[in-house]
Structure 1
Amino acid sequence: MREAFARVWENPYVRVLVYLLLFFLLYRFLARTWPALSVLLTAFTFAYLAHPVVRFFEGRRLPRALGVVLVYLLLGLFLGLASFLAAQTVLELTRLAQELPRLLEPLFSWLLSLPDRARAVPVPEALKPILAEASRGLQGLLQGFLETLVRWLQGLLAQGGNLLGFLTSLLGGVFQLLTALALSIYFLYDLPRLGRAALLAFPEPYQPLVAELAHKLDRSVGGFVRGQLLVAFLVGLMVGVGLWLVGVPLAASLGFLAGVFNLIPFVGVIVSGVPALLLAATGGWVKVLLALLVLWLANQIEGNLLGPLIVGRATRLHPVTAIAAILLGATLFGLWGALLGVPAAAFLKVLLEDYYKASRFYREG
């Protein structure tokens, strides 16, 4: 019986059919159990990301339990501050979208009169309707951008008016949120022991391979996520403080926008830049140029210093690959896909380079 099964198993088509069936059954299982798995994954993800902070407190000779309590106090303060800044941002951007035609009218008038001011050839009458239409198109584009941004922030605050309401709706209810928070406390406190127990669940011959893969996963995916969180915080701080020094209204909220959207690489400074420049325009062109300088410096520091130093070592992904991963993730899974696209690409790169290219299938076909 065993020999007959072995001969059947040698057929590659049989193996492919069995593997496809197993993947289908796994997909069905995940689809049926996703509400429970989402709670577990949320709890584990937070514990995994916050674990270095607890280790930092332990390095300062604080008990681990006290470190966990401090982490959750910091989380509560962050959620409260972020909810306040998001609400303020919605109010100000809504007002800005309504006043946008008035703010842009001097700019368009100045551009149309620029040739006459410079005593150059006047703008031909045939081009004036085209320039006017281009001006209206730019105004509509900026207004649509602001309205889309406001709708996204309003959706973020729709449930309960704060980020806790958003997390509640994301997980499916208050009970799921409380369960995830309780589980994350246990995960965070016992994470090293849980990691050792999970490793022992694999057969002994495979434990070194699993440990190696987990280490590479932590270095690439975990390193990227933690690094991107740190970069997002620093970029938001730079943009907020810089715009505050320039005198741009709502500088703290604009820094918050820059930090939140910077979780998606290459997006944060751009998203916060448009409303920052429009708000700066209320104070004159000098303030616009200073705000533009602040955003340019923040973008340069992120791209040439913070990104390569903190995140680049973890992923080593080409910018085109990272952007493609963001676009594909956003298309397939929305905001969460955009956030997780680059970590998933980094993990696939580890599997491709360290395991697939070393396999017999890659070498022999």
Structure 2
Amino acid sequence: MVLSILIIGAALLAWELRSILVLAFGACLLAVLWRAAVTSLREHANIPEGFGLAITVTSVFALVAGMMFLFGSEVASQAEAIAAALPAAIDQLRATARSFGAGGIVDQQLDRLTGAFAEGGSIGGMLMTIGNGLTDFIVVVVASIFLAARPDLYRTGLIKLVPSARRDEAGATLDDMQTALSLWFKGRLVAMIGVGLLTGIGLWLIGVPSFFALGVLAGLLEIIPFFGPILAAVPGILLALLAGPTNALFATALYLAIQQAEGNLITPIIQQHAVELPPALLLFSLLVFAYLFGVLGVLLAAPLTVVFYILVKKLYVREALDTHTPIPGEDK
């Protein structure tokens, strides 16, 4: 009876702290990436772990700062241009829809969308959201450095929570999750860079303004399965519509072609060296984690799915059902 009460209490506490737990997972994910870089430095350059972590973190911060210095003002100015041009693009979309006899439906959907933004889009609310997001990001980064600096300390602590007879299995499961998450991120990073470059170059060739910022947006949103490419395509197509329906058609065709190339060319090549998740599983996982954790759940849906995928395959299918099944990353 007491044990049941404790389990229920722990479950309720975890639910109340779910946003913090997601941040903790984000820190663990980033720590895995730090550790992958440190391990590579140790194996190829014989650099001690502590020094390797310092080099890795400093190099990443320097790279981000350099990118912001070189391209930050360009991205910011193009983002402002996009924001300024979107109202005219939406008006053009309404006019084009009316010319094809679909004005009523388009007007209704756009009014509903702009109304939703008006309800929750006050300046104060936006500033608070940005401030909270920045605070969460800083916490995740700092915590990830602490985790990467002494991974054995936290790994041993987690394993000690497991009964002694299953600790070897728990350690092996943690190792498998680390390997799979590292491979997943490498695959996503390649896809993000490829999609961003193809989008930016394609929009530039078509003559769409703010192509650089739109390419960056497409690359960043590639982290979100299924819906990310759709969100990235909307502003690009709307801006192309300002130059006429023909340019909008070209932009739509470009986004579709890039997604076909990503799905049929880039991703299959990546998956030979990364983690492949069943698309239906990933789609429903995205919906579940979005419902449970909001925006953070959307951003972390794929790596969270990787973790649960490993747990189910290793602890349930292999151990409980005694059925062989391949573990993602096990033979990498």
State the TM bucket, normalised to the shorter chain.
Answer: 0.7 to 0.9
Q: Which residue of 1 aligns with 2:5?
A: 21
- Who is 1:95 aligned against? 85
Q: 1:32 to 1:58 in 2, by over 3 A?
A: same
Aligned to 2:328: none
Q: 1:101-116 counterparts in 2 under 5 A?
A: 101-102=91-92, 104-106=94-96, 108-109=98-99, 111=100
Cα distance in 1 between the residues matched to 2:203 and 2:159? 52
Q: CA deviation at 1:299?
A: 0.2
Residues in 2 aligned to 1:24 and 1:232: alpha-carbon distance in whole angstroms? 41
> What letter corresponds to residue 74 of structure 1 in structure 2?
L
Structure 2 match to 1:68: 57
2:32 corresponds in structure 1 to 48
Q: Count residues with an aligned counterpart.
A: 316
Large movers: runs of 4+ above 6 Å: 31-39, 146-157
1:80-106 Cα offsets, whole Å, 9 max, x none, are: 767974674365235312442245525
User: So what's the TM-score if we normalise by structure 1?
Assistant: 0.68
1:137 aligns with 2:97: no
Q: 1: distance between equivalents of 2:157 and 2:73?
A: 37
Shift of 1:303: 0.8
Structure 1: stretches of 5+ with no match in the other structure: 1-16, 112-130, 172-176
Q: Give the aligned partner of residue 291 of structure 1.
A: 251
**CA distances 1:278-305 after superposition (whole Å, capped 9, x unpaired):** 2112233443343233212210121112
Of stretches 33-42 and 311-320 in structure 1, the one that deviates more from structure 2 is: 33-42
TM superposition shift of 1:72? 2.3
Secondary structure at 1:357's aligned position in 2?
A: helix
Alignment correspondent of 2:280: 320
Give the distance between the partners of 2:123 and 2:269, measured in 1 at CA.
34
Matching residue of 1:281: 241
* Correspondence for 2:184: 224
Which protein is bigger by CA-based radius of gyration? Answer: 1
Query: Is 1:339 aligned to 2:302, yes or no?
Result: no
Q: Secondary structure at the match of 1:249?
A: coil
Are residue 242 (structure 1) and residue 232 (structure 2) matched? no
Letter in 1 for 2:239: L
Which has the higher mean CA deviation after the structures are superposed, 182-191 or 241-250? 182-191
Of residues 51-60 and 75-84 in structure 1, the stretch that sits farther from structure 2 once superposed is 75-84
Q: For residues 290-328 of structure 1, what are the alpha-carbon distances to aligned partners after superposition, in whole Å with 9 as ceiling and x for unaligned?
A: 323321221012111232333586544322221111112
Q: What amino acid is the match of 2:104?
A: R
Aligned-residue identity in percent: 25
Higher RCO, Cα 8 Å, sep 6+: 2
With structure 2 as the length reference, what TM-score do the two structures score? 0.73
Conservation of the 8 A alpha-carbon contact between 1:90 and 1:154: no
Q: CA deviation at 1:159?
A: 3.6
How far apart, in 2, do the equivalents of 1:151 and 1:82 lie?
A: 30
Please say if residues 326 and 341 of structure 1, whose CA atoms lie closer than 8 Å, have aligned partners that are also in contact: yes
Q: What's the offset of the Cα at 1:70?
A: 0.5
Counterpart in 2 of 1:212? 172
In the alignment, structure 2 segments of 5+ residues that lack a partner are 324-332
Instruction: Tell me the distance in 1 between the aligned counterparts of 2:266 and 2:125.
Output: 30
- Structure 1 residues 313 and 186: CA distance shift in structure 2, 3 A: same
Pairwise CA RMSD: 4.2
